[in-house]
Amino acid sequence: MSAEFRTFKAGFGVNWLKAGWVIFKTQPMTFMMMYIFLVVVGLFPFVLPNPIVQVLCALSGPFLTVGFYNAVVNLQSGKTIMLADILQPFSAKGRRLNLFRLGLYQLGVAMLLGVAMTLLFEPVTAALQNHSSEQDMNAVMSEIAAAISFSDIALFIVLQSLAMMAFAYALPLVYFKKQANILAAMKQSLKVFYYNMAPLSVFGGIVALMFIASAPLSLIPLIFIMPIVYIGFFISFQAIFATQEPSQGNDDENSGEGEHKTEQEQVGQTGRFDA
């Protein structure tokens, strides 16, 4: 059975990031170390390009991300967190199997996207493979530019975006809402993005601007920014899938606005929406 969810106005994209900052500043170093750990695990397959290492790192991704989210929950509960908390889902009995299955789905989708990239950008790959050091670089770039199709790029971006949206909320749904049906969780995640496109677009737009602002500094500020983004996104999950019923007990527009106002007050005080 799919979990019920709420829809929010565009301004809540900003509120979720603000809530992320509220939580982050309580233990900033711990969250930054967790993010660095995630990055290191993600880059490890490039250091050791071994198929077994690549599969293990890919399958560990959902566990580590949920470990980060779980640290947020612990902090919201008044507990002190530490770096080792990111490994907690590996020992979570009754939930590990579904996280493992979700990791397999992610791995399968990543492989399909890899095949799609190969097929869509085969002319570009051929141009690069046929490049020799004696060739004029301008000629090579012209050949690559001629081989690139805007429609192919747009198609790949759409496929990549759909994959990202399908897994974004599916991960916390599987772990925190105990959704055992992976495909149903992915469908629910896509549905949430559709109905909450306005706040999530604002959220994503602000994150994109922060990426651009970090570029001149070799993206180093992301060590500080990305933990806030992770926390803010999990706050959006808590808000969208909050189990608390609206105080007025109806679904009309006025009650929704009152509910949002209450949630904004909660964010300012606790950093969470379902307190």
d(CA 232, CA 213): 19
| CB-CB contact of 160 with 88 (8 Å) | no
**Rg of the chain's alpha carbons, rounded to an integer?**
21
pLDDT of 127: 60
Q: Is 95 helix (H, G, I), strand (E, B) or coil?
A: coil
CA distance 189 to 143: 40
State the Cα–Cα distance between residues 197 and 132, nearest whole angstrom.
Answer: 46
What is residue 225's predicted lDDT score, i.e. its pLDDT?
Answer: 95
Give me 146's structure tokens: 């001629």
CA distances from 228 to 34, 218, 234, 235, 239 (A): 12, 19, 10, 10, 16
Q: How far apart are CA 68 and CA 232, in angstroms?
A: 12
**pLDDT for the residue numbered 249:** 37
Residue 136 in tokens: 């004029």
> How far is the C-alpha of 98 from the C-alpha of 102, rounded, in Å?
6
Q: Which two tokens stand for residue 274?
A: 């379902």
- CA-to-CA distance for 266 and 271, rounded, in angstroms? 7
Residue 62: the pLDDT is 93
Average pLDDT, the chain: 83
What is the reported pLDDT for 275? 33
User: In terms of Cα–Cα distance, which of 81, 70, 87, 83 is closest to 33?
Assistant: 83
Q: Provide CB contacts within 8 A for 4, sequence distance 6+.
A: 241
Report, as ranges of residue numbers, the positions in the chain whose pLDDT lies below 70. 1-2, 123-147, 243-275
Of the CA atoms within 13 Å of residue 194, those in its CB half-sphere come to 8
Share of the chain above pLDDT 70, in %: 78
